[in-house]
Structure 1
Amino acid sequence: MALPALRASPAALVPPLLRRYPRRLPLLGKPFGGNRPPPAGCGIPAASATTVASPLTGAEEALMGFIAGKRKATEVAHSVWKNVVSKGDSVIDATCGNGHDTLALLRMVADDSGRGFVYGMDIQSSALESTSSLLDESVNPNQRKLVELFCLCHSKMEDVIPQGVSIRLVAFNLGYLPGGDKGIITASNTTLLALQAASRILVSGGLISIVAYVGHPGGREEYDTVQAFASGLPVDLWATCKLEMLNRPAAPVLILLFKK
């Protein structure tokens, strides 16, 4: 069974309430009914009706950009992550690459208490060196301490995550290391094991995010494996979907697995 893909018109992807009442929902960050306060008894405090921003604003923008062919699947993924993780959460970057996802995750979870944490892993030492350098250049020493990098296969993630740690998000960016050896790629068998491990350690309300690349040798097979895994998850425990460009068959596909 194939995953449901977003194939509706752009208008159909906008939540119905936002289409019907575009100026009457305080989540849009606009005044309720113009500059007038909300009517008495509506349940919305007058003081907050004009100040509450929608948590989905960034995701909507990225999604519409993807539909228009102007935003990458990775950008949509980042915007979705921001609506799942919070400051203080623990997350996993299962494929560090050059560190851009690791850095994005760190900025989402790092807080002053030092509770947020990113576990990053990659089988290539060069990828971890690039990730470490990017982090050193981009964040302060206190934030840098909130990332631990492991040179190992993501299928072994359960071996390095401390027992009792609640994982809110596991991110996969499959394929080969950009700028690296294209002969070294993530493989179907270990990616499947990694997905199984991620599904076990993810907390309720958490997300597994996968960007699959189908344009390189082995990429289509790996994508099929990911899709088969996602399609087989029980509907009472998981909600799964994918974003793909139908007229660009070699374009990356974003697959999202939400644990209820």
Structure 2
Amino acid sequence: MIVPAVLSFSHALVRQAIDEGGIAVDATTGNGHDTQFLAECVGPAGKVYAFDIQQEALARTKQRLNERGIANRVALIHAGHHEMDQYLPVEIRGKLQAVMFNLGYLPHGDPTVITRPETTLPALETATVWLTPGGVLSVVLYTGHPGGPEEAEHVLQWAQSLPPKTFQVMHYQLLNRQQAPSLVLVEKRKQAA
């Protein structure tokens, strides 16, 4: 048996929901790995909206995208993920094929600037509204930093409360590794079950 790492598993599942020319959101840009992944998935005709509150994260992401020649597929937005509905074009509401969250803090950045439940939970709620039927929302949870376990607990409670007729929810976690990241994946059903 081969157990995939959480991030690669997240990408494998999200990739299945995105079509060439699709629309996606990276709600926590960080170093740009998920932004790059989404830009490659949507292709030249698609669009990715990438959010981060740190200018440093956006600069790193812009460099990554420029080096790969795919920066034109991405709108980098200097704002928190809880504000996404203020920045996304209204005409794409209900059309997002994927929204990715990678919680915690910017690697090699200021570890005191972290995602928090008071902004993450409203952002997750907004994402479910903007998803298209068949679209997915992925949330990578990190618990190895101050505030991480509490945020993960809030996200899991939120995910468990989603109505099963509208959403399918999965939690992927390594059980024999303390503080290993875990993945919550939410799929918006194409039709009510």
If the length of structure 2 is used for normalisation, what is the TM-score? 0.94
The reply to whether residue 199 of structure 1 matches residue 128 of structure 2 is yes
User: CA offsets per residue over residues 194-232 of structure 1, 9 Å max, x none?
Assistant: 001101111110000000001111000000111011000
User: CA offsets per residue over residues 120-140 of structure 1, 9 Å max, x none?
Assistant: 00000000000000000012x
Superposition map of 1:50-199 within 5 A: 64-66=2-4, 72-111=5-44, 114=45, 116-139=46-69, 143-165=70-92, 166-199=95-128
User: CA offsets per residue over residues 142-178 of structure 1, 9 Å max, x none?
Assistant: x421210011010010011101211111000000000
Q: Distance in 1 between matches of 2:152 and 2:59?
A: 27
Q: Distance in 2 between matches of 1:75 and 1:102?
A: 14
Q: Distance in 2 between matches of 1:101 and 1:192?
A: 20
Task: Identify which of 168, 171, 188 aligns with 1:239.
Answer: 168
* More RCO (CA 8 Å, sep 6+): 2
Superposition map of 1:5-16 within 5 A: none
SS in 2 for 1:228: helix
Divergent runs of 4+, >4 A: none
Task: Identify which of 141, 163, 168 aligns with 1:212.
Answer: 141
Q: Distance in 2 between matches of 1:258 and 1:93?
A: 16
Q: Distance in 2 between matches of 1:255 and 1:249?
A: 17
| Structure 2 unpaired stretches of 5+ | none
Aligned alpha-carbon RMSD (Å): 1.0
SS in 1 for 2:7: helix
Q: Distance in 2 between matches of 1:192 and 1:150?
A: 19
The alignment-based identity, stated in percent, is: 39
| Letter aligned with residue 105 of structure 1 | L
- The equivalent of 1:46 in structure 2 is none
| Letter aligned with residue 65 of structure 1 | V
| Letter aligned with residue 182 of structure 1 | P
Q: Distance in 2 between matches of 1:245 and 1:201?
A: 30
**How many residue pairs align between the two structures?**
187
Q: Distance in 2 between matches of 1:244 and 1:256?
A: 11
Q: Distance in 2 between matches of 1:207 and 1:82?
A: 10
Q: Distance in 2 between matches of 1:181 and 1:109?
A: 31
Q: Distance in 2 between matches of 1:81 and 1:147?
A: 17
If the length of structure 1 is used for normalisation, what is the TM-score? 0.70
Structure of higher CA gyration radius:
1
SS in 1 for 2:144: coil
Q: Distance in 2 between matches of 1:241 and 1:100?
A: 22
Q: CA deviation at 1:65?
A: 3.2
User: CA offsets per residue over residues 46-83 of structure 1, 9 Å max, x none?
Assistant: xxxxxxxxxxxxxxxxxx332xxxxx211111111111
